[in-house]
Chain A
């Protein structure tokens, strides 16, 4: 379903994504983890066609990003990291816009909007402008829009940010059910607990390179660690955390007049 080979993205001298290759099959949920600035969001942006790769090949749902970008886009749902939305639109208008952009018929759009708004507890806000929404509501708005056109592949960049526990639980269950029905999901996150429970397979990217790609159980075995956060720290070679903390405490206290 997703096939990436030798994908590279350069910004001048800096390689944000450095020659990565991976595949994800139908019905698979892949957790895509990495520290800040590791290249997670850049990878996702290239996969959905927002960024042009410097080199490498991308194929999603059987369509090449180079030659069949439109077909690829039609089959992809994307939740970006930041909830940038057209603030003057209402939720209904936003979903109508997205439905039209994905070539859905008006009747189908209307039907899906009503159903999705009910499921996401957004009925009361459906005709309110997005400018009045809380961050959580905006996030729901993005998720609904990503699901509206029944995509084969979902690219989710921190999708649970700002969401309440109930919604997160509902969404985790929804994503698992969608995966069972054959949707492929690439899930990008910092929240390791969610990745651990939701994603049977984990990919870790650091400084633009994939440094681990295996099921969670295999990673535990490889690193001799049980918790995913410890695995993550070990793989990303994050050392000297205690010293760093001591130094930070010292600086903070030094600047406090009462210290």
Chain B
């Protein structure tokens, strides 16, 4: 069936089928063990399912079809937008393009192969995000669904699918058109980081839903507010698709008809004009990406870099500069850091907006029981810093340039641990230090000079997180083959482990606080001093390996 669709869209069905099969085989073989992939997929689906439960709960609010669908589709488009970003890289990465660039494969065919791959990666997430809200819709109590309520799941699911593909289409268009707007030099960076702009567009609606999210499910004032706020969504695609669902369910009001018309027109427009145009020039676009994109400097300069004197061993220094160059230049690291900056921006928005502040009630962050005990603050500190560290350290393990690690293997390095220590030093210098200083500023604003006591528990956790983050099996940075799905899985284990550790430490602190000041004080000293001593001891400890054997 896919070949027929490809043929209808102007691609060569035979080439399309074979290329798609090849892509699947390459990916399957690259993954080697399937366990990692399956686990990451299950966790992603679980997250989407959780989001869908939140949406389905709205059924109990006695809201109308439009508002319910609007919330569901907004969530779905946001989740699809955000969670497909890693997979979306399939479209933007010209990795395998040189293999087929000289063959008579049309630009459109290759584009469709890549787009199909993105869609197949996201289809399960779309189902998980929408299945429960679709079924839940049967129990909506609005008048307009009473007669046709059993059709609701089919209509909702169909429109949710179209809206999700619309999201992917808009993201593709967005990145594609950047190629025409910007010079080749800056193209790659801009195209890859700008993908965040579109999904972030939907969280603005999501924030609005948060803003009016009910404190009590029976509060009729809140339902009215929901209805008023939902009107704002008429200007967004989420509203257009929600209106389409209402129309299919027989709610033929003029607003819904206009919204449905907008949804149909925008989808047709998206397919016929921008996507078609990008498909036509996709090869050209990939060729651009393959070209040199860095800012070219022509003069010969050899600088002794910052921090050079700090590291007495040449090996640590070498690893520090290698990994710090990647920190500032590798697109995967940049995209990860960019996403984390987005999270911080969200926090700032929550803090600055007086209404949101009131509804969101972020006092849990600044709530303090006793000096050094603010569970919210510790959690936020650890979450942000560990998020940044993960964004850096994972691509330092799994790199597209992993084959270059031969040079680390032939070098006379007494212990591989020094190389990994260099990578850890980059994380400490360029990520943990600025994050700690930033959070220290917040702590000082909140608790004056006592603020330092609130920083220390989180800091010890973060330092030990960096220290005990699993080393690659080879012990070398940038040495493991880059496989996207394996990366997604690898980030979860240390992260979940740390979430548990943070929870446990904060819990212990709270329990000891309940038992009495001196017990709390002793425990605090034990956690902080123990954590710091452990970090210093293990970080500076001479390695066990006596000799490097290739």
Contacts and interface: CB of A to CB of B under 8 A. Distances in A.
Interface of A: 48-52, 69-74, 76, 78, 80, 82, 84-89, 92-93, 96-98, 100-104, 106, 109-110, 113-114, 117-118, 123-124, 126-129, 131-132, 145
B298 A127 contact: yes
A37 B547 CA distance: 31
Contacts of A70: 412-414, 547-548
B318 A100 contact: yes
Nearest to B550: A49
A129 B292 contact: yes
A88 B325 contact: yes
Interface stretch (B70-78, B300-308, B442-450): B300-308
Contacts of B326: 86, 88
A50 B292 contact: no
Contacts of B325: 86, 88-89, 93
A132 B411 contact: no
B308 A127 contact: no
Interface in B241-270: none
Given A87-B404, A132-B293, 19 more contacts: A50-B550, A70-B548, A73-B411, A85-B401, A87-B401, A88-B330, A96-B318, A96-B321, A97-B322, A100-B314, A100-B318, A102-B412, A103-B412, A109-B302, A126-B299, A127-B301, A128-B297, A129-B294, A132-B292
A84 B399 CA distance: 13
B550 A84 contact: no
A101 B550 contact: no
A88 B188 CA distance: 14
Interface in B521-550: 547-550
A139 to B, nearest CB: 14
A213 to B, nearest CB: 25
B478 interface: yes
A101 B407 contact: yes
A113 B314 contact: no
Given A52-B549, A128-B294, A106 B304 contact: yes
A124 B301 CA distance: 10
Q: Is the interface of B mostly helix, strand, loop or mixed?
A: loop
B410 A110 contact: no
A123 B302 CA distance: 11
Contact of A101 (B296, B304, B314): B314
A96 B302 contact: yes
B406 A74 contact: no
Interface string B306-346: 00100000110110011001100110000000000000000
Contact of A69 (B297, B299, B315, B547): B547
Given A69-B547, A70-B414, A126-B300, A104 B322 contact: no
Contacts of A100: 314-315, 317-318, 321
B336 to A, nearest CB: 15
A117 B302 CA distance: 11
Contacts of A76: 410
Interface string B279-304: 00000000000001110111111101
A72 to B, nearest CB: 8
B471 interface: no
B406 A80 contact: yes
Nearest to B297: A127
A101 B315 contact: yes
Interface in B359-408: 400-401, 403-404, 406-408
A19 B222 CA distance: 83
Contacts of A69: 412, 547-550
B158 interface: no
Contacts of B413: 70, 101
- List the 10 closest A-B pairs by CB distance, nearest first: A132-B292, A100-B318, A101-B411, A73-B412, A49-B550, A84-B403, A74-B412, A88-B329, A129-B294, A127-B297
A164 to B, nearest CB: 20
20 contacts: A48-B410, A69-B548, A70-B413, A71-B412, A73-B411, A78-B410, A84-B403, A84-B406, A86-B322, A97-B322, A98-B411, A101-B318, A101-B412, A114-B302, A126-B301, A127-B297, A127-B298, A128-B294, A132-B293, A145-B407
Contact of A114 (B300, B549, B550): B300
B409 interface: yes
B478 A50 contact: no
A89 B408 CA distance: 15
B321 A51 contact: no
B412 A113 contact: no
Contacts of B550: 49-52, 69
A79 B325 CA distance: 23
Contact of B301 (A82, A92, A104): A92
Given A48-B410, A50-B550, A132 B318 contact: no
Contact of A128 (B296, B302, B317, B412): B296
Contacts of A128: 292, 294, 296-298
B45 to A, nearest CB: 34
Nearest to A66: B549
Contacts of B315: 100-101
Contacts of A145: 407
Contact of A132 (B296, B329, B407, B408): B296
A109 B308 CA distance: 13
Given A73-B410, A106-B308, A131 B292 contact: yes
Contact of A127 (B299, B408, B412, B478): B299
Contacts of A93: 321-322, 325
Contacts of B410: 48-50, 73, 76, 78
Interface in B444-493: 478
B318 A84 contact: no
Nearest to A155: B410
A96 B314 CA distance: 10
A28 B28 CA distance: 48
A150 to B, nearest CB: 13
Contacts of B296: 128, 132
B409 A50 contact: yes
A148 B401 CA distance: 22
A50 B406 contact: yes
A152 to B, nearest CB: 13
Contacts of B407: 85, 97-98, 101, 145
Contacts of A102: 314, 411-412
Given A88-B330, A127-B297, A97 B318 contact: yes
Q: Which of B308, B326, B404, B414 has the most CB of A within 10 A?
A: B404
A80 B405 CA distance: 12
Contacts of B414: 70
A59 to B, nearest CB: 16
A71 B329 CA distance: 34
Contacts of B401: 84-88
